[in-house]
Amino acid sequence: METIESILEMKAWSSTTKAQGKKIAFVPTMGYLHKGHLELIKKAKERCPRVVSSIFVNPKQFGPSEDYANYPRNLERDRELAEWAGTDVLFVPKAEEMYPEDYSTYVEVEELSDVLCGASREGHFKGVATVVMKLFNIVQPYEAFFGEKDAQQLIIIRKMIKDLNMDIKIISVPTIRETDGVALSSRNKYLNEEERKQAVCLYQSILRAKEMIDSGERSAEKIKAGMEKVIKEKPLAGIDYIEIVDASKLKKLDSISGRVLVALSVKIGKARLIDNIMVEV
């Protein structure tokens, strides 16, 4: 596995690889890799002859009071894991090169970006869309891989690709969970033992929603109340949001029908955790 830091070198590698007729699969990450990321890389390797994974903690997607400086980083470990999972090139750009001092261009997927996580994280998805556009232009992938845990991100990136007529196929990979159901996340590192135990409430509340829907409940209000009750059983958990929206426009639903996203964000200790389930009703 090769590690590339420079944007120009990464572009050159991709151009050469494409000129050789080899399709590039791309897995963008913020590093501190866990099994969820490794699944993305493995899937990428299955589908394309060359895999580029990137590690870039994108400053533009963190708010001023968020955890950019403290976001967990461990490049040595990431390098080993990325290689083990099938990465050919690990792209690790520098923030100073990605965003030089006079940087001023942004991509924004309006309407989808100011709800759910976007409501509590102003500017977050503008930062995400912008960095993904930049990385796509640098890496020039045929396919790009994203986890379903970040459901809103996935929907926004798909919309950006469609609206801007980009030719990149987005492949999503189901959320990977610990044995107790907690979704893997680099931010789980922030949790102490007791917090980690209580973090299971996100998954439990999703199971509760699924149960209610399976047994015929269609009132979003009632399902959300059921989920809220599950979260409130854990004293360390503070609800950021619990929402039930349609899966394409992310509009709040009163009565659920069609493809529906049940999503929530919960603060536990220093971590803001998210989880979701996509349901077809």
Structure tokens at 124: 């977050």
Q: Which stretch binds a copy of itself (CB under 8 A): 60-68, 131-139, 173-181, 233-241?
A: 131-139
Question: Judging by beta carbons within 10 Å of its beta carbon (0-12, 13-18, 19+), is residue 189 exposed, middle or buried?
Answer: middle
Q: Note whether 280 binds a copy of itself by CB under 8 A.
A: no
Does an H or E element contain 207, and which?
A: helix 200-214
Does an H or E element contain 101, and which?
A: none
Residues 260 and 206: their CA atoms lie apart, in Å, by: 13
Task: Tell me which of 41, 44, 89, 160 binds a copy of itself, using CB under 8 A.
Answer: 160
Residues 177 and 267: their CA atoms lie apart, in Å, by: 18
Q: How far is the CB of 38 from a copy of itself (least distance, A)?
A: 27
Binding mask 222-261 for a copy of itself (x = CB under 8 A): --------------------------xx------------
Q: Note whether 6 binds a copy of itself by CB under 8 A.
A: no
Q: Which residues, in sequence order, are CB contacts of 83 under 8 Å at separation 6+?
A: 1, 90
Q: Alpha carbon of 73 to those of 77, 83, 89: distances in Å?
A: 9, 17, 19
Task: Tell me which of 96, 101, 167, 254 binds a copy of itself, using CB under 8 A.
Answer: 167
Binding residues among 89-128 for a copy of itself as defined by CB under 8 A? 102-112
Q: Which residues are catalytic?
A: 37
Task: Tell me which of 20, 65, 70, 165 binds a copy of itself, using CB under 8 A.
Answer: 165
Residues that bind a copy of itself (CB under 8 A): 7, 11, 102-112, 129-130, 133-134, 137-138, 159-160, 163-167, 248-249
